[in-house]
Amino acid sequence: MSAEQRPLAVVPRWLWAFLAAALAGQLAWQAQPTASMRLAQDLPAAPRAAVLRLAAFGEEPALARLLMLYLQSYDYRGGNTLRYRELDYSRLTQWLHAIVELDPQGGYPLFAAARVYAEVEDPERMRHMLEFIYARFLEDPNGRWAPLAHAALLAKHRLGDLPLARRYAHDLQRMTTDPGVPLWAKQMEVFILEDMNELEAAKIMLGGMLESGTITDAEELRFLKERLDALEAASRRR
Amino acid sequence: MATATFARFILLEARRGGLPWLALAAIVVALVLAAFLSQVALTETRELQASVMGALLRASAVFLIALHVASSTLREMNDKGLELFLSLPVPRWAQYLGRLAGFAATAAILAATCALVLLAVAAPSAVSLWALSLVMESVLVAAVALFFSMTLAQLVPAIAATAGLYLLARSMTGIQAIASSPLSEPSTAGEAARLAIDAVALLLPRLDAVTRTDWLLYGASVDGDYVRAIAGMALYAALATAAGLFDFYRRSL
């Protein structure tokens, strides 16, 4: 080390032993799992967004993301004996609502809602989360269309609830005005209607989209026409 | 004997300095805050007062003792008092342990005083267990602050290191829980980060499990968790003492 320090040889042997014993004791003590480490608890009730805003000290986006990490820690491997799919979903959605209100532009809560919390095997919990996504989509359709598109897919394929999926897809197509929203998302309702054996309805909707003149992209027009032709062919076969 | 003399002078310095007044100010602020909260709360007034006062007094005790130890030790070093003592025929362990004993006694008195105030809003049995935990926590912080002050030999780095270790120790369980979350994509970097966090946790006391405000609200009992929490702090104080003594023996005149 520096010249200000004497050599290690001046340290008495008993002190070496004391330091080694204390360090070994600390490592052994901390290495053993304790009962208190297994939290085994459900989510506490969510605070109001105003309280969170106060606690954020002006750093709302940072706090919103930290709170999402906190929510994520509620699962089995995170030290909790409750898996997130066993959480109280009304509390979970309260937390997600509060986080969205804290940082409305953040995409994390809706992403987690669609990709994590909605993908549970329990239909009731899934519906709960899908309705949360839908409610938040209505506030900002152009910014939150992606979670709703995934929600529509989940409603169709996991829940098997085609009317619900159609409602989501219909509102997604109807309410989004941003040209950046991709074709497949806007046309989702068509595919869902096909699955509902509502081929005629799908043909009408596709035809309406084509005749409305709102679609100017050549590729999009070609794609929609192909879909319309396919639908007509399927309709004739019946 | 020399150890007791050192301890006595450290206590005397604490009594004659600004520490008692600062402690009194913290207690007054806590009481005023409690009185204010009792006026605005609709329900659970005592619980609200106990939780806010407990959190405030705990932070005050820890903060004040860390500042006191660091400033006192650094002042002695800057005044060349430490060199003078090192030149005396007194064993280094006696000098170090004497200082530590003095600071530990100061910390214990400070923590006990802060806890006494809580008797107004919480049950005596709960306050006594909370107080013992706060005494141990303050002694631990005193030992850590003495170690960093002696080793780093500068006021700001010593306080920053003590505060950093304390805050990290209090948040480490939460950090570990977040790091273990399976929602993120498993990767080598993520696994390495998780292992690194677990390794750091091994070198820290588990301060999130001690001096808990919920003891004041819902009562506490001397069960396995409580004993483990107290013993863990004692063990870490011993480690900080051993490390401090080691560095003190290598200090050159």
pLDDT digits over A112-133, tens only?
898 888 888 889 999 999 999 9
Over 50: is that where the pLDDT of A40 sits? no
**Closest-CA residue of chain B to A22:** B239
**Cβ contact A12–B249 (<8 Å):** yes
Which residues of chain B neighbour A3 with C-beta distances below 8 Å? 252
Over 70: is that where the pLDDT of B43 sits? no
Side chain identity at residue A144, one-letter code: R
> What was the pLDDT predicted at A79?
47
Strand partners, A144: none
Over 80: is that where the pLDDT of B74 sits? yes
Q: How distant is the Cα of B199 from the closest Cα of chain A, in angstroms?
A: 9
Distance (Å, whole) CA A64 – CA B184? 17
Q: Where are the domains of chain A?
A: 39-160
CB B109 within 8 A of CB B131: no
> What was the pLDDT predicted at B214?
81
> What was the pLDDT predicted at A34?
60
> What was the pLDDT predicted at A201?
56
Side chain identity at residue B117, one-letter code: V
Closest among A149, A145, A88 to A117, alpha carbons compared: A88
Distance (Å, whole) CA B2 – CA B85? 11
> What was the pLDDT predicted at A115?
82
Out of B228, B235, B246, whose CB is closest to A19?
A: B246
Q: Which tens digits make up the pLDDT trace of B97-129?
A: 999 999 999 999 999 999 999 999 899 999 999
Over 90: is that where the pLDDT of B94 sits? yes
**Cβ contact A75–B241 (<8 Å):** no
Q: How distant is the Cα of B252 from the closest Cα of chain A, in angstroms?
A: 5
Q: Which of residues 176-205 of B touch A (CB under 8 A)?
A: 176-178, 180-183, 201-204
Phi first, then psi: give them for residue B251, nearest 5 degrees: -65, 130
Q: Which tens digits make up the pLDDT trace of B155-194?
A: 999 999 999 999 999 888 877 777 776 555 567 887 888 8
Over 80: is that where the pLDDT of B253 sits? no
**Cβ contact B182–A35 (<8 Å):** no
Q: Which of residues 89-108 of B touch A (CB under 8 A)?
A: 93
- Token duo for residue A101: 């209100």
Q: Which tens digits make up the pLDDT trace of A171-181?
A: 998 999 888 78
Over 90: is that where the pLDDT of B150 sits? yes
**Cβ contact A73–B177 (<8 Å):** yes
Closest among B60, B59, B41, B63 to B121, alpha carbons compared: B41
pLDDT-derived band at A61 (thresholds 50, 70, 90) equals: confident
Q: Which of residues 5-34 of A touch B (CB under 8 A)?
A: 5-8, 10-12, 15-16, 18-19, 21-23, 25-27, 29-31, 34
Over 90: is that where the pLDDT of B30 sits? yes
Of B51 and B145, the one with more pLDDT: B145
Distance (Å, whole) CA B77 – CA A163? 78
> What was the pLDDT predicted at B71?
96
Threshold 0.90, pTM exceeds: no
Q: What angle separates helix A89-102 from helix A60-72, to the nearest 10 degrees?
A: 160
> What was the pLDDT predicted at A116?
82
Q: Which tens digits make up the pLDDT trace of A62-92?
A: 788 878 878 877 764 444 445 666 778 888 9
In 3-state terms, what secondary structure has residue A238? coil
Of B233 and B82, the one with more pLDDT: B233
Contact B140/A at CB under 8 A = no
How high is the mean pLDDT of chain A? Answer: 79
